[in-house]
Structure 1
C-alpha cells in the first residue's frame, strides 16, 4: 500500500494513491481526495493474459499488435454483472474488490501488451518482436452510468492527476509512448458501458507519433497556428487551453484541446491550465451530446511527447466524434481504410461554428 502521503495537490487539495495487488497478481491503483484504507473483499483470482506479439508491416512501415486472446474479453454485461463496479459483500467478484472508491486504475485482464509478454512466433520472412508494455483500464466513477461531463470538475481533475501519475510510472518502466484514451459508444466498439477509459503504454513509438514528431521538428507550431485562426476555428476556451476544430480535421466535428503555451505533456500544466483542460473535457462531451441529441460515440486521445522525441513537441488532446449529423454515423469506408485519405463531410469552420453556438 502506498497511501500514507499525497502524491500531488489540486488547488491545495491532496491526491492520495493506494496501490493494491489483486489475487491474480495484477496491480490496482485507487486515487482519491481521501486516503483509501478499506479492507479488500475476497477474490477468486484466475488466469490473466500476458499480452500478444508485435509484427512489422513491411509496406506500411509500422508495428501492429496481435492479441487473439482478446476475442474472449467481457462483452456488454448487464448492470448487475458490471465488472467495473465496486464489489458487494457476498456478491460476485468485480475488478475492484472494495465496496467503494473514487477513481480506479487497474491492469487490463485482456491485455495486448504486458511486461512479461511471451516470445513471438517465428514466421518466415516476417520481423516480429515481444509485445512488452502495459495496458490499463481507468474507471472514472463507481456509478454504472455517467460521462466526462456528468462526473463533475473535481473528478475530472482527479482523472488528470491519475493520468499524470501513470505517465511517470509507465515511462519509468521503459515504455516509449503512453496513450491515455477513451472509446465511447457502441459505434466505436465499446464492450463495457461503465464510464471508463484506458491507457496503452507502447514499447515503440507508433507511426502517427513518429510523423507528428517530424512535423514539429520541421518547424510546425500548432499553438501559433490555432491562435492565428482562432475566431474561425475556435469552439471555446478555458484556463489558457483552446478547444478548436483545426482546418485539417479528418472527422466531422473533430475538436482538439490545444494549450496556448506549448507543453510536452499535461504534467507541465499550470494550475489554471489543468483546471481549464479538465473543464473542457466535460464541456466538449456536453456539446457533442447536445449537438447530436444523443450519447455521442467518440474517440478521445491524449498526445504527449514520446520518449526521445520531446524536442519541439506540443501536447494536445483530440476528440474524434463518429457522427456527421444527428442520426448519421461517419463510417470509415474503403477510401479511408485503403489510403488513409479521409473524406470529410463537414467543413471545420462550420463545425466550429455549430459547436460554438452551444
Structure 2
C-alpha cells in the first residue's frame, strides 16, 4: 500500500501538495491542497472493482464507443446521509474518501468504463472491437455537500487547475492518448450525485470530435484570430491573457468558451498569470449562469486540450454547454441533433452575450 506526499511542480501560484494513497480495494486516491495532507485513515471500503468494458466501432459514424454493463449498478441519487463523496467521519458511514477532511480529492472511479487492465472483448463477426483501455477518475471539489466552481473560491480553483495539470501529465505518461477533464452539473444533464464534483477520462484512442479539432488546427485554423474578431462584441471578460466569450458558431444557447488569447496547447502550457486568469473566469462564468437563470444552472463543461502526441498547433479551450434556453426551459437534444449532429440553436449568440453581460 502506497501513502506518499509530494509537492507539485506547476505554474499555479503558491505551493500545492499531493498525497497519493492506495485504498483498501486497490484504487488510487489523490488529495491536493495548500497543506500537506497528513490525517489518519478512518474506515475504508473494500469492494470488488470492475476493470473496464470494451470498445466497439460504429462503421457509419466512424467512432469508437464504450460498452460497460457494470455501470448500470453505479450510485444513483443517494440521500445526503449516504453521500459517497463526503469525508469519512469517525463513527459515520464509510465513503470514497477515508479521511475526516481534505481540500480537493481525486480517486479512480469504482464504476469505470475505461481501465488500464480492460479485458479483451469477445470476437463478433464483422464488428471491430478493442479493450476499453484508459482511466476514469472522479474529482471532488470540496468536502462541503453543496457548492459550485464559483462558490469554492479563487484559491480552490487554483488548486483544481494544479490537479488537472498533474493528472494530464500522469495520464499521458501512462499512455492515454487524449485526456478530458469535465463536469456534468444538474439532473437535466444526468448527474446522479449532487456533491460538487467533476471527472477525468483518459482515452486509449482519440475521440472523433477531438480528432476533428486536431485536424482543423493542423490545417491552419486560427482560433486566436477568431477570438480577436469576436471581442468585444461577443466577449464576457478577460483576465490574465484569457478571454471568456460566446462563440459566434455556438451550438448551445448561452454557450461560453474560455481560451488563451494566444495559442496554448493545454493548461500545462500556460504561465502563472494565465492560469490565474483561467481560475477567475471559471468562477465568473458559473456565477453569471446561476444569476441569469436564478438557479444552479445545469451544464456540460470540459477542457479541450491537445492530445498526447500530434497536437502541436492545438489551441486549448474550456467550454460550457448550458442545458437551459430560458428559466426552467430545458434545451433537449432530440431527434435532429442526435441523428444528424445538426443543432437548432434557440438563442442567438448575440442575444446570449448581452444577457450574460447584464449579470
If the TM-score is normalised by the length of the shorter chain, which range does it land in? over 0.9
Aligned residues between the structures = 357
SS in 2 for 1:232: coil
Gaps of 5+ in 2: none
Is 1:109 the equivalent of 2:117?
A: no
Distance 1:169 1:307 in 2: 11
Distance 2:12 2:281 in 1: 17
Match of 2:258 in 1: 257
Match of 2:228 in 1: 227
| Superposed displacement of residue 6, structure 1 | 4.4
Match of 1:86 in 2: 87
| Superposed displacement of residue 4, structure 1 | 4.8
Q: Deviations over 1:163-184 (max 9, x none)?
A: 0000000000000000000000
RMSD: 1.0
SS in 1 for 2:38: coil
Match of 1:38 in 2: 39
Match of 2:149 in 1: 148
Distance 2:67 2:338 in 1: 19
Distance 1:126 1:6 in 2: 44
Match of 1:121 in 2: 122
Q: Which runs of 4+ in 1 moved over 3 A?
A: 4-10
Match of 1:100 in 2: 101
Distance 2:47 2:295 in 1: 38
> In 1, are the aligned partners of 2:234 and 2:245 still within 8 Å (CA)?
yes
Q: Given the two structures, how large is their TM-score scaled by the length of structure 2?
A: 0.98
Do the aligned partners of residues 219 and 7 (structure 1) sit closer, same or farther apart at CA in structure 2, a change above 3 Å counting? closer
Distance 2:23 2:243 in 1: 40
Matches within 5 A, 1:281-292: 281-292=282-293
> Which of 193-202 and 225-234 deviates more?
225-234
| Superposed displacement of residue 304, structure 1 | 0.6
Match of 1:245 in 2: 246
Distance 2:358 2:91 in 1: 50
Is 1:295 the equivalent of 2:263?
A: no
Distance 1:41 1:8 in 2: 30
SS in 2 for 1:3: strand
> In 2, are the aligned partners of 1:7 and 1:17 still within 8 Å (CA)?
no
Match of 1:336 in 2: 337
> In 2, are the aligned partners of 1:264 and 1:304 still within 8 Å (CA)?
yes
Gaps of 5+ in 1: none
Match of 1:322 in 2: 323
Match of 1:199 in 2: 200
> Which of 267-276 and 133-142 deviates more?
267-276
SS in 2 for 1:2: strand
